[in-house]
Structure 1
Amino acid sequence: MKHSFLVAMPAFVVLTACLPYNPVESAAPPLSIPESFTAGDEVIAEGDSHIGVEPWWQAFGDPTLNALEERALGDSFQLRAGWARLSQARAVAEQAGAPRWPTVGIQLSAGRQRQVFGSAGVQEFSSFSASVPVSYEIDLFNRIGATATAADLDARATRDDVEALAISISAEVAEAYFNLVEIRQRTTLLESQLASNDIFAELTSLRFQTGQASALDVYQQQATVQGTRARIALLDAEVRVAENRLRAIVGVAPGGTITAGPQELPDLGELPSPGLPSTLLMRRPDVRSAQRRVSAADYRVGAAIADRFPSLRLQGSIGFGAPNLTQLFADVVWSLIGSISQSIMDGGRRAAEVDRNKAVVQERLEQFGQVVLTALIEVDNSITGERAQLANVEELERQYETIDSTLTEARNRYRMGLTDYLNVLTALVAQQNAQMSLLAAKRRILSTRIQLHRALGGTWTQRLAEPEPREVRDLNDDSETDG
């Protein structure tokens, strides 16, 4: 026995020392990260530790938008499904970690046996037993531990996925909300244009009656009025579609109440600081998720390598046994068995599993790099896009002023008989189109700002709490459904 121990101990030490694989805890992205964000040759901003701490939409100062965002984060079907996936991932992680602990059970048995002993006749026996079996695998090479850690990292990555989904949903809510506000503002603008066109039509008709305008002038202005009315006729449907888009995100059925909110698009505040690219990686939950999945895959490589080494299992039981119930607890019965198993030939299955997991690591690493690159590009595009949109709005405002002056001059010249009505009508249509273009440009700036907030991520999502699960109800249940 002593010699066996002396032989086994060095072998165990050698095998333990043959664990060359150390999984990566925090993978570095496979691409170079710029030191700062730039627009052309200009450095945009230095670091700011407060970026994304508070929900970004609060910067607009719109109580209606705030209420819709909070409702969406609580009632969105997409987000609630994400929370359910997180619960599944946590359960899987708990299952993966269960083998770290002994398995304990209880066994109760009772039996009656009849046996023939030839000339001795027939004898009958009774047997009763109660025992507690215990089994435990000693994790010599961290196979179980690595598997459990990988599952835990997957669960944490799923939490990051939920947070990334929350950011996306918050951006979708804002986009849908401001789209609705823009349609309402466009309605107000078209109604104002219609009123102005009606006045022009009346004035043109009066001038025609006094011989100062031609029938062509009247027809042209009437056509302008009719065109404006035709555009207004479509707006009710646009409002309904926009409201339903918002309802779909928030989780409200068609016809459900959607607060009206303001009738005009808000003014933009200052451009939020994007901070440093290096801090962006920690603010973006999708980046964190991709990074964790690299580590999870790497831990599974370690588990696959450990699976090629021997496994040590202990099995035992303690209990009682007797031929009758009255003597059941008289004698204690116990057993303890230790076993070591090692695969000698498996056709290369375990080696192939190691190779497969290493390939998964490479796949996850490349995906991680793509996510990081996408995050950096999204921020860069949003900053560049907002600056371009601001310049576009400034030019459109100057254009509108010029067209407005042109309309005034054309009207004055028309009154004096120095030009025909076509010049007035052309300037009027140009002015109204410029108003619409300016409104659309302001909406595009808002969209760019929303996308910038989305690209910057934020830590506010880490404060999100899981909702209570919904009750599964029978379709024939007449009780009121949730929501």
Structure 2
Amino acid sequence: MHASRIRRPRLTDCVIVGLASLLSGCMRVGPDFHPQHEPWSEHWSSTSLEQVTQQAPQPDVRQWWRMFGDENLERLMEQADAGNGDLQIAGLRVIEARAQLGIALAGRYPQVQQASAEALASAQKRSDGFDPRSGVYLQYGAGFVVGWELDFWGRFARAIESADAAFFAAQANRDAALVLLHAQVAETYFTLRTGEARLRIARENAQLQKRSYDIAQKLFKAGETDELDFQQANTQYLGTLSSIPELESQIVLAKHALSLLMGRPPGPLPELGVSSGKGGVIPLVDRAVLQDVPADLLLRRPDVRAAEYQMAAQSALIGVAEADLYPSVSLLGTLGFSASSLKGSPSTLAVAIGPSVVWNVFDHGRITNNVRVQDARLQQLTVAYQNTVREAAREADDAATSLIAASRRDAILNEAQGAARRSLTLASTIYREGYSDFQRVLDAQRALFAQQDAYVVNRRNAVGSLIALYKALGGGWTTRQPLVDAATRQQMQQRTDWGDLLNEVSVPSEGAAR
């Protein structure tokens, strides 16, 4: 028969283990995180914001660009969500943070897991020298060691808390990437539209000035006027003509920028459709439609939420560092088996279990200063969070102020371009009738070109201010696209066993962030 020896745990061991298990996870050293909202941010607003915002259910601030009613812009947004490289990286960082959270969660399980096996061949001869069976026999054994540090002081719980906050921070950073992407697409699109409108104006004025140049040339050749009128008309016409290549270049560059935002090389943009080439008037929208008060939108802004989650993650790391000041209580267990091929030799099964206490008594100075380091980092993040909120408020107020100014200038510039058009008509009539010189016609043409161009540029500034306002309030943080697209998911799964992780992580939502 095989003999076995099992070491039974003593009563004192059972008592210690029971108490340790009872207290495991019940104590958490370090501070519990509390949001550091400044009093002003809870009820913040401004006179400028009140003038340019209105409460309404539609359009949703998460898709604010729909208020322009531009199908081209909406198609560009969808393509940018699907192909933008920065957004894809932000989504992969969410996956990375989720895997990091899985590492932290592993602290709940035994930290030491070792298995070993060995076999030894030995030769043995009988005393009379006769060895009918070669005299070789085997000794073999196997062992398993488990060490489980109990979360007596909440070290692992705090680590999980930190990783969890970092995971939500990664989600908020992806939301912030969406906000930035949508603002950039809209900005670039209206830069393109503005370039087309300015190009149309430049070509129309060039044609108008070309007619004046032709008239001046004929009169000069006929001897009815001197060369001055002819050269002035030629100078003005060529100056306007020279602006056309620059505007054409701006349009091409804007298209290149849109291609990059959509994750493509420079090339055709079928999303623009046929209406984009018409160079229509830039829309004027002087109100931002909000579903909530500015103060709440400000605190829900993705980069503000990310800064707050980073504070929470760092706060938990203080507890992780502080847990090193206290003894670590672990359960150690071993299981061993050994046997031999010799007939009649016994096999052995040994089991041992008991507590272990480790205390870094002589590292008190290092540990204490590490706690201080983590606390200083938390304070830095606290100040950074408060600065982020203040900067967000400044951006929103600046955008609102600029929108008010652009809206006021719109009516004035529209009236100014009408007056300039009328002035040119009068100046041309008086010149043809011989009551005025050609200089007044040139001045009127120059004024008309300048006022028409200023009107379009101001419309572009108004749209840019509206986009900046929505961006400052965190609008546009949602998308229907998954964190990882199908092609990327397939590529990653071919390299690594991701299990269900690539499918489990959901698209961040406003509710989850709060």
TM-score for both structures, normalised by structure 2: 0.81
Which of the numbers 424, 427, 435 marks the counterpart of 1:407? 424
Tell me: CA distance 1:230–1:280, structure 2 relative to 1, closer, same or farther (3 Å).
Answer: same
Residue of structure 2 equivalent to 1:78: 86
Please state if 1:416 is matched with 2:424: no
1:138 aligns with one of 150, 172, 196: 150
Deviation at 1:238, TM superposition (A): 2.5
Cα deviation for residue 52 of structure 1 reads 4.9
**TM superposition shift of 1:353:** 1.1
Equivalent position of 1:245 in the other structure: 257
1:272 alignment partner in structure 2: 288
Letter in 2 for 1:465: P
Task: Report Cα offsets for 1:57-77 as digits up to 9, x if no partner.
Answer: 222222221121111122111
**Which residue is 1:23 aligned to?**
32
Q: Indicate yes or no: 2:165 matched with 1:157.
A: no
Cα distance in 1 for residues equivalent to 2:432 and 2:457: 33
* 1:341 matched to 2:358: yes
Residue identity in the other structure for 1:291: E
Q: Contact (CA 8 Å) 1:52, 1:456: kept in 2 or not?
A: no
Conserved in 2, the CA contact under 8 Å of 1:316 and 1:335? yes
User: CA 1:458–1:130 in structure 2 vs 1: closer, same or farther (change >3 Å)?
Assistant: farther
Q: How far is the alpha carbon of 1:131 from its aligned partner?
A: 4.6
Structure 1 gap segments, 5+ residues each: 473-483
Change (3 A) 1:223 1:265: same
Cross-structure match for 2:110: 102
Structure 2 runs not aligned, ≥5 long: 1-9, 130-134, 493-514
Rounded Cα–Cα distance in structure 2 between residues aligned with 1:306 and 1:259: 57
Write the distance in 2 (CA, Å) between the matches of 1:29 and 1:382.
Answer: 23
Percent of pairs with identical residues: 25
Q: Does 1:284 pair with 2:296?
A: no
* Preserved contact between residue 298 and residue 473 of structure 2 (Cα < 8 Å): no
1:388 deviation in Å? 0.7
**Structure 1 residues 328 and 260 mapped into 2: Cα distance closer, same or farther (>3 Å)?**
farther
**Conserved? CA contact 2:285–2:466, under 8 Å:** no
Supply the RMSD in Å over aligned alpha carbons. Answer: 3.7
- Structure-1 separation of matches of 2:25 and 2:314: 22
Is the Cα contact below 8 Å between 2:29 and 2:154 reproduced in 1?
no
CA distance in 2, matches of 1:336, 1:46: 69
After TM superposition, list the pairs within 5 Å mapping 1:16-415 onto structure 2.
21-24=30-33, 26-30=34-38, 32-33=40-41, 35-39=43-47, 52-102=60-110, 107=115, 109-112=117-120, 114=122, 126-208=138-220, 213-257=225-269, 259-261=271-273, 262=276, 263-273=279-289, 275-318=292-335, 320-324=337-341, 332-346=349-363, 348-415=365-432
Greater CA drift, 273-282 or 86-95: 273-282
* Aligned counterpart, 2:466: 449
Tell me if structure 2 keeps the 8 A contact 1:38–1:44: no
Within-5 A mapping of 1:468-483: 468=485, 470=488, 471=491
Residue 287 of structure 1 aligns to which amino acid in structure 2?
Answer: V
Provide the rounded CA distance (Å) in 1 between the counterparts of 2:471 and 2:430.
Answer: 52
SS in 2 for 1:339: strand
The alpha-carbon distance between structure 1 residues 120 and 464, as it changes in their structure 2 partners (threshold 3 A), is farther
Cα shift readout 1:250-300 (whole Å, capped 9, x = no counterpart): 211123545444222441335114542431244311010101111111111
Q: Which moved more, 1:218-227 or 1:8-17?
A: 8-17
1:324/1:47 CA distance change after superposition, 3 Å: farther
Counterparts of 1:265 and 1:325, CA distance in 2: 98
Once the two structures are TM-superposed, the CA of residue 248 in structure 1 deviates from its matched residue by: 2.0
Distance (whole Å) between structure 2 residues aligned to residue 74 and residue 326 of structure 1: 71
- Between the aligned partners of 1:288 and 1:147, the Cα distance in structure 2 is 20
Contact 2:20-2:152 at 8 Å conserved across structures: no
Note if 1:427 corresponds to 2:455. no
Residue deviations 1:392-439 (CA, integer Å, cap 9, x gap): 222212222222222222222212222110011111111111111111
Q: Contact 1:137–1:313 (CA<8 Å) still a contact in 2?
A: yes
Residues 8 and 387 of structure 1: CA distance in aligned 2, closer, same or farther (over 3 Å): same
Q: Which of 474, 482, 485 matches 1:465?
A: 482
Distance in 2 of aligned mates of 1:183 and 1:461 = 29
Q: Which residue type is aligned with residue 267 of structure 1? A: P
Paired residues of 1:57 and 1:66 also in contact (CA < 8 A): yes
Q: Is the 8 A contact 2:286 2:462 kept in 1?
A: no
Q: 1:87/1:3 Cα in 2 relative to 1: closer, same or farther (>3 Å)? A: closer
SS in structure 1 at match of 2:352: strand
Alignment-derived partner of residue 477 in structure 1: none
* Corresponding residue of 2:501: none
AA at the equivalent of 1:392: R
**Higher mean C-alpha deviation, range 163-172 or range 229-238:** 229-238
Task: Say if 1:69 and 1:244 are closer, same or farther in 2 by CA, change over 3 A.
Answer: same
Deviation at 1:367? 0.6
Q: Is the 8 A contact 1:39 1:383 kept in 2?
A: no
Given the superposition, is the C-alpha separation of residues 10 and 244 from structure 1 closer, same or farther in structure 2, using an over 3 Å criterion?
A: closer
User: For 1:329 and 1:213, how far apart are their aligned partners in 2?
Assistant: 128
SS across alignment from 1:135: strand
- Once residues 154 and 12 of structure 2 are traced to their aligned partners in structure 1, the CA distance between those partners, rounded to angstroms, is 28
Distance 2:181 2:363 in 1: 49
Partner-residue secondary structure (3-state), 1:461: coil
CA contact (8 A) 2:431 2:441 kept: yes
